[in-house]
Amino acid sequence: MGYPHKSHPRETAVLSKHFGEPEARSLDGWKKRGGYRALEQALAGTPQAIVDIVKASGLRGRGGAGFPTGMKWSFMKPGDGKPHYLCCNADESEPGTFKDREIMRWTPHALVEGCAIGAYAIGAETAYIYIRGEFDEPIRRMEEAVAEAYAAGILGKNAMGSGKRVDVHVHKGAGAYICGEETALMESLEGKRGNPRIKPPFPAVSGLFAQPTTINNVETLAAVPHILTNGAEWYKAMSLSNPKSTGTKLFSVCGNVARPGNYEIVMGFPFKDFLYDLCGGPQAGRKFKAIIPGGASVPIQTMEEAEATLMDYEGFVAQGTMLGSGGVIVFDDQQSMPRMIARLARFFSHESCGQCTQCREGTAWTTKILERIVAGQGTYEDLDTLLELADNMTGKTICVLSDSCAAPVVSGLQKFRHEFEALITGKRSSSIAMPPSRTAVAAGASA
Amino acid sequence: MSTNHAPYEPVFVGKRKHDLEAILLRYPKKQAALLPALWIVQEDRGWVSEEGMAEVATALELTPAYVKGVVTFYTMYHQHPVGKHFIQVCTTSPCLCAGADKVTEAFLKHTGCNELGVTSPDGKYTVIEVECLGACGFATPVQINADTIENVTADKVPQILAGLK
Amino acid sequence: MVNLTIEGRPVSVPAGTSILEAAKQVGVLIPHYCYHPGLPVAGVCRMCLVDVEKSPKLMPSCATAVAEGQVVHVHNDKSLDARKGVLELLLINHPLDCPICDQSGECELQDYTFQEGRADSRYREPKRFNPVEDFGGDVMYVPNRCILCTRCVRFMDDVHHDAVLAVAERGDRAVIATAPDAGLTQPWAGNVVDLCPVGALLSKDFLNKARAWELDRSASVCTGCSQGCNTTVEIRDNAVVRIKPRGNEDVNAFFICDEGRLGYRPLNRQDRLTVPMVAGHVGEWGAAVSAGAAALTGKKAHVVVNPSASNETFFLAARLASKTGGAVKFAVPTGPEAPLPGVEDLALRADRAANGTGAEILGARRESDPYAGLSAAHVLVLVDIDPATVPSAATSAASSVVYLGSVAPAALAKVSAALPVSTIVESEGTLTNLRGRVQRFFQAKGSPGQARAAWFALADLLIALGEQADYLMASQVFDAMAKATPAFAGMSYDSLGLKGATAAGTTAGAAR
């Protein structure tokens, strides 16, 4: 449900069913709501059985990459004699995204159970939940839940009396968006600077402490107990558009919208209905102007594109963007797109780890140019420089933070170039509120 | 940099020592306890001094320079003392478009800080802007020390400040 | 073996080789900064990105292993654009310091920018600024010029095993930092200056002393200890201004210790002996040789030789001793050993002289007191010994002194003849390191006055004593030595080349 709002009738509350219920946080409360039956079942069977069910369900990583989870788990070779690790990526720092926070602070046991099942499935005895340092409440809730689970014998060397060991530890981050990148997360867990690693080697071969490791997002792991309880077919059936996108997704909605919050809908849901019906449309007296549907790293959509989108991985790609983390940032006609994009560039520049030349220098330079344009001191050459910089920053670095910084710049210039030009010429254009139509963009009018 | 001329008292004694020992059991390598150890230092002292870094380095068999490299990478470790109430306002675009800049202005005004990052003369407040706090639907979120306050608007600021001890 | 094509050239290398190293083998240099063969791969500068056909993205060639059938383009438009982009970004905050920067003329940022970079800058924003820092030891750090390649950090951590350097801050605020009270005083720390591709890490010793293009360079060998690190001696205005390590994978990898690096000052001493002397008066070379031979006639030559003197010198000193029934002695000063832990068998050795091994092979005896046993039956022949270190009891005991030295004999008593000799940078020859490796050193500068190589002076003495020793070139002495000494059999200057070769029957192969 879109806590603090009531569940909308067109939502499908699976993960968010108990958001807002304080009782759901405790072990007893969670058990009353069906918790830990899936784990008990899982531990009684084989790891391979779990992997097969998750594969069949079509569950894809909910952190942003959308990689099929069952397939990712199958990369962990059983019986290799090495310690395997599961890392739960709870570093949620992608602007616009706040779903994992809610899962952890309202249903912490859902994540504990998901981690335990995931660990068992990949042959790991130890799972680390890496939570960003700013998430004081989620950290507290998760630590309490883990402690309760140990006290009740659910975790530990004889998990639920199965004879198998499952350990879960909460690890607190210290303020770095880049630690949400899976290899940087592992570096940070190991007590180092959060610098992403070059791949290969891939984590399943050499990850945490150089051992085979799988990294999964909070929302992904929280879905697993439900899949085991209700079956792969049940999950697969929840698909309104492309059969490759199954299940429910928590979309975090924020910005200039009447009812910001988390909304859980079935994959393939029409975005237009989502925005105007579920989220309540724009605030009074305003009109929607632009949407970033998947967190700050995905291209900006015009309303025309957004309203034609079906909300699944393939649907967003078809409308010029990506599902990403599902963090829906809504900008209305009162916002200056160059100003919003400049602030996003500043975010990426601040969060760059600094390893790669293109990212370290490029994000900072991009920010400075954009801020100068917003301050009214930009030139037309700056727009060319920004696009060349964005090209230089794409596809050339160890991780994609650099590409993420380029995305709003390129899509912003593509679709809202008139706003940039207005700042350069100093004229307040009458069309500043709405972008040119899609046909004009396609004809290359603003490129 | 420490301007305190009193001799440095170690952090990892008594309970803190036990806490660190328990933490070390979680990981196969000592170095992995670095972030947790630094959190203990910050919770104990309010910030991480160079002596604090050196103490952690010794405890985990790392060099002080290495620890410094880690401390300065992450934004949450303070390298100098800060105000009693460390006020962090998220101003990344999702919050900015919802008026976060006005929230920042209000805090700067009502705390008497007037400048970002500078502690108020009475030592009570420091106000900074931070990047996305992961509570975008509750704009504007403000973190004061370890507590996150949701849905802050400029008009609520005086009331929030009055509620701080 | 893996077969691939790089810039149209077929190459065959073992599996696991990086594309960058494979390219080197067919003469293709892929521009790079952070990569160094002596350091673990970082892959951060992104300068070495190459276009591999069928790969969707450009690949970092330092961090990508070769694959069968790969077709790699290094100088096509895509790769050139990427490199141009990296160069532009490295320069946006880089200060226009070339006119005052020591690295100028040997700067990889200059070189690649000139080759492939933009001709202008379109950066209009204020540049990042940080003040210069003293990193301790011989190293100063200029953060404004730093390109964050992290070679220095990786060297101190992975090769020197003392992580005193770290990257601090992140993003475009990142700089290299040390902890307080910890400086680069470690024995091999000075290598970070060589490793730095730009003028961010500089030698305080070399600061503002010379321009890279003014330097004359020669290959040589360090005489600071018995490791025998290969060096390049750099000369300006007839003085040694810098020593840099010369790569030799069998001896010192790419490195030299700070003692060797900074120990060149004695080579520039001004109190040189530049003229021959006969009984304390300036004389002709021939007269001095005759006087020396006369002093030696009927006496035994007790020859004390500098433990860093060349093999050629020890060879002829041995002949002098055997002709007169005497002996050749040497003492080796010692000091604490300081290994470079990350390189096999590399250390500043306890033996602080370069040719103890060669000396012993050639019949000289290592003594704690090389002057013991002197009597009126002996003539003390000093070869390249600092006169201040000769005990007066020695000169009193001997019947007279024949002095072959580079420094003026000054207060030395009973010097019947003195011949000026050249230092190691003023002559050519060979040295034998502790593993029996025979290595050549080359002449870097001219000798002052009438100074000649020590072997030349010894040869003249031998001739004056009736021996066959008319060698005009060091190579002739070496050839004679190789013929007469089983350990050096079959060797010649040509066969030694620039990397040297191991003497037979010595502790060869102890390292690699």
Q: Please check whether residue B69 touches C, CB under 8 A.
A: yes
Chains that touch A (3 or more CB pairs under 8 A): B, C
To the nearest whole Å, the CA of B6 is away from the closest chain A CA by 28
Contact present, C376 and C399 (Cβ < 8 Å):
yes
- Averaged over A298-315, what is the pLDDT? 97
Per the structure, the complete domain to which residue B38 belongs is given by: 14-73
The answer to whether residues C228 and C308 belong to one domain is: no
User: CA A112, A116, A118: angle at the middle one, nearest 5?
Assistant: 115
Contact present, C313 and C474 (Cβ < 8 Å):
no
Tell me how far apart the alpha carbons of residues B141 and B134 are, in angstroms, rounded to a whole number: 9
Residues in chain C closer than 8 A to B65 (CB atoms): 163-166, 177-179, 182
- Radius of gyration of chain B, Cα coordinates, nearest whole angstrom: 18
The answer to whether residues A370 and A281 belong to one domain is: no
Q: Please check whether residue A189 touches B, CB under 8 A.
A: yes
| In a domain? residue B30 | yes
- Mutate which: C44, C48, C83, C153, vs A, most A CBs within 10 A: C44
- Please compute, for residue A150, the number of CA atoms within 13 A of its CA located in the half-sphere on the CB side: 11
Q: Which of A198, A358, A396 is the closest to C63 by Cβ? A: A198
The answer to whether residues A138 and A81 belong to one domain is: yes
Residue B13: count of CB within 10 angstroms of its CB: 9
User: CA C166, C170, C171: angle at the middle one, nearest 5?
Assistant: 130
How many residues can be counted in chain A? 447
Q: Please check whether residue A254 touches B, CB under 8 A.
A: yes
C27 dihedral zone (left: phi>0; alpha: psi -120 to 50; beta): left
Q: Which two tokens stand for residue A300?
A: 């900006």
Residues in chain B closer than 8 A to A296 (CB atoms): 92-93, 132
Domain end: C268, C292, C321, which one? Answer: C268
Instruction: Provide CB contacts within 8 A for C371, sequence distance 6+.
Output: C304, C329, C380, C390, C391, C393, C394, C397
Per the structure, the complete domain to which residue C257 belongs is given by: 123-268
First to last CA, chain B: 28
The answer to whether residues C229 and C311 belong to one domain is: no
How confident is the prediction for chain C on average, in pLDDT? 96
A324, A327, A331, A337 alpha-carbon torsion, rounded to 10°: -50
Q: How far is CA B24 from CA B18, B21, B35, B47, in A?
A: 10, 5, 11, 22
Q: Do C179 and B73 touch (CB under 8 A)?
A: no
| In a domain? residue B56 | yes
To the nearest whole Å, the CA of A198 is away from the closest chain C CA by 8
Instruction: Provide CB contacts within 8 A for A31, sequence distance 6+.
Output: none
Q: Which two tokens stand for residue C434?
A: 């502790």
Q: Which two tokens stand for residue A243?
A: 């059969």
The answer to whether residues A294 and A366 belong to one domain is: no
| Pairs of residues, one from chain A and one from chain B, whose beta carbons lie less than 8 Å apart | 143
Phi, psi of B12 (to 5 degrees): -85, 70
The string of pLDDT tens digits covering residues C314-344 is: 999 999 999 999 999 999 999 999 999 999 9
| In a domain? residue C80 | yes
Residue where the block lists tokens 């792991």: A221
| In a domain? residue A447 | no
First to last CA, chain C: 23
Per the structure, the complete domain to which residue A327 belongs is given by: 248-332
Q: Which two tokens stand for residue C353?
A: 């002289």
The answer to whether residues B32 and B94 belong to one domain is: no
pTM of the model: 0.95
The answer to whether residues A323 and A374 belong to one domain is: no
The answer to whether residues A33 and A182 belong to one domain is: yes
| In a domain? residue A305 | yes
List of long-range contacts for A24-29, beta carbons under 8 Å, 24+ apart = A24/A106, A24/A107, A24/A109, A25/A105, A25/A106, A25/A107, A25/A108, A25/A109, A25/A141, A25/A144, A25/A145, A26/A148, A27/A109, A27/A145, A27/A148, A27/A149, A27/A152, A27/A154
Check whether A107 has a pLDDT greater than 70. yes
CA C106 distance to own-chain centroid: 18
Q: How far is CA C238 from CA C104, C243, C445, in A?
A: 21, 14, 6
* Single-letter code of the amino acid located at C502: T
The string of pLDDT tens digits covering residues A239-278 is: 999 999 999 999 999 999 999 999 999 999 999 999 999 9
Q: Which of A351, A368, A395 is the closest to C57 by Cβ? A: A395
Q: Output the domain CATH number for residue C87.
A: 3.10.20.740
Check whether A1 has a pLDDT greater than 60. no
β-bridge pairing C139-141 and C201-203: antiparallel
Q: Do B136 and A260 touch (CB under 8 A)?
A: yes
Check whether A198 has a pLDDT greater than 80. yes
Task: Report the number of distinct structural domains present in chain C.
Answer: 3
Tell me how far apart the alpha carbons of residues A149 and A30 are, in angstroms, rounded to a whole number: 11
Q: Which two tokens stand for residue C395?
A: 């000169």
Write out chain C's pLDDT in tens, 512 residues.
999 999 999 999 999 999 999 999 999 999 999 999 999 999 999 999 999 999 999 999 999 999 999 999 999 999 999 999 999 999 999 999 999 999 999 999 999 999 999 999 999 999 999 999 999 999 999 999 999 999 999 999 999 999 999 999 999 999 999 988 778 999 999 999 999 999 999 999 999 999 999 999 999 999 999 999 999 999 999 999 999 999 999 999 999 999 999 999 999 999 999 999 999 999 999 999 999 999 999 999 999 999 999 999 999 999 999 999 999 999 999 999 999 999 999 999 999 999 999 999 999 999 999 999 999 999 999 999 999 999 999 999 999 999 999 999 988 999 999 999 999 999 999 999 999 999 999 999 999 999 999 999 999 999 999 999 999 999 999 999 999 999 999 999 999 999 999 998 775 434 43
Q: Do A354 and C47 touch (CB under 8 A)?
A: no
Q: Which of C41, C86, C122 is the closest to A357 by Cβ? A: C86
**Residues of chain B numbered 21-50 and touching chain C (CB < 8 Å):** 50
To the nearest whole Å, the CA of B61 is away from the closest chain A CA by 12
Q: Do A357 and C47 touch (CB under 8 A)?
A: yes
Contact present, A306 and A319 (Cβ < 8 Å):
yes
Domain end: A309, A332, A355, which one? Answer: A332
If one compares C511 and B27, the residue with the highest pLDDT of the two is B27
| Pairs of residues, one from chain B and one from chain C, whose beta carbons lie less than 8 Å apart | 42
The answer to whether residues A286 and A402 belong to one domain is: no
Contact present, B52 and B39 (Cβ < 8 Å):
no
Task: Report the number of distinct structural domains present in chain A.
Answer: 3
| In a domain? residue B2 | no
Q: Please check whether residue B157 touches A, CB under 8 A.
A: no
Q: Output the domain CATH number for residue B29.
A: 1.10.10.1590
Tell me how far apart the alpha carbons of residues A74 and A72 are, in angstroms, rounded to a whole number: 5
Task: Report the number of distinct structural domains present in chain B.
Answer: 2
Residue ranges of chain A whose CB lies within 8 Å of a chain C CB:
176, 193, 198, 349-358, 360-365, 368-369, 372, 381, 385, 392, 395-398
* Single-letter code of the amino acid located at C472: L
Check whether B66 has a pLDDT greater than 70. yes
Q: Do C174 and A360 touch (CB under 8 A)?
A: yes
Q: Please check whether residue B96 touches A, CB under 8 A.
A: yes
Residue closest to A292 by CA, chosen among A319, A341, A339, A328: A328
> Sorting pLDDT into bands at 50, 70 and 90, what band is A428?
low
| In a domain? residue B4 | no
The string of pLDDT tens digits covering residues B127-138 is: 999 999 999 999
To the nearest whole Å, the CA of C184 is away from the closest chain B CA by 12
For A71-107, give one letter per residue: b (16+ CB within 10 A) or e. ebbbebeeeeeeebbbbbbbbbbbbbbbbbbbbbbbb
The answer to whether residues B41 and B90 belong to one domain is: no
The answer to whether residues A327 and A252 belong to one domain is: yes
Tell me how far apart the alpha carbons of residues C251 and C255 are, in angstroms, rounded to a whole number: 9
Q: Do C177 and B64 touch (CB under 8 A)?
A: no
Domain end: A301, A332, A363, which one? Answer: A332
Q: What is the pLDDT of residue A438?
A: 46
* Single-letter code of the amino acid located at A243: P
Tell me how far apart the alpha carbons of residues C218 and C231 are, in angstroms, rounded to a whole number: 8
Q: Output the domain CATH number for residue A307.
A: 3.10.20.600
Q: Do B134 and A135 touch (CB under 8 A)?
A: yes
The answer to whether residues A195 and A288 belong to one domain is: no
The answer to whether residues C212 and C73 belong to one domain is: no
Q: Which two tokens stand for residue A25?
A: 């946080």
Domain end: C239, C268, C297, which one? Answer: C268
Nearest chain B residue (CA) to A263: B137
The H or E element spanning position A357 is helix A357-374
C128 dihedral zone (left: phi>0; alpha: psi -120 to 50; beta): beta
Residue closest to C106 by CA, chosen among C204, C211, C230: C211
Phi, psi of C481 (to 5 degrees): -65, -45
CA A305 distance to own-chain centroid: 21
Q: Which of C44, C57, C92 is the closest to A361 by Cβ? A: C92
The answer to whether residues C42 and C143 belong to one domain is: no
To the nearest whole Å, the CA of C213 is away from the closest chain A CA by 29
To the nearest 10 degrees (0 to 180), the angle between helices A99-106 and A218-230 is: 60
| In a domain? residue C115 | no
Residue where the block lists tokens 């680069």: C184
Q: Do C171 and A396 touch (CB under 8 A)?
A: no
The side-by-side arrangement of strands in the sheet containing A288-292 is: A261-266, A248-255, A327-332, A288-292, A301-302
Q: Do A331 and B74 touch (CB under 8 A)?
A: no
Chains that touch C (3 or more CB pairs under 8 A): A, B
Global ipTM: 0.96
Max CA pair span of chain C: 86
Q: Which of A176, A361, A369 is the closest to C93 by Cβ? A: A361
Contact present, C377 and C300 (Cβ < 8 Å):
yes
Percentage of the residues of chain A whose pLDDT score is greater than 70 = 95
Q: Do A396 and C82 touch (CB under 8 A)?
A: yes
To the nearest whole Å, the CA of A434 is away from the closest chain C CA by 31
- Averaged over A408-417, what is the pLDDT? 98
Tell me how far apart the alpha carbons of residues C262 and C176 are, in angstroms, rounded to a whole number: 24
Q: Do C170 and A353 touch (CB under 8 A)?
A: yes
How confident is the prediction for chain A on average, in pLDDT? 94
Domain end: C268, C294, C314, which one? Answer: C268
The answer to whether residues B51 and B96 belong to one domain is: no
Nearest chain B residue (CA) to A3: B137
Q: Please check whether residue B118 touches C, CB under 8 A.
A: no
Residues in chain B closer than 8 A to C179 (CB atoms): 50, 53-54, 63-65, 67-68
Contact present, B112 and B105 (Cβ < 8 Å):
no
Q: Please check whether residue A187 touches B, CB under 8 A.
A: no
Tell me how far apart the alpha carbons of residues B107 and B110 are, in angstroms, rounded to a whole number: 5
The string of pLDDT tens digits covering residues A38-78 is: 999 999 999 999 999 999 999 999 999 999 999 999 999 99
Nearest chain C residue (CA) to A392: C85
The answer to whether residues C40 and C144 belong to one domain is: no
Q: Name the DSSP class of A275.
A: I
| In a domain? residue A390 | yes
| In a domain? residue C105 | no
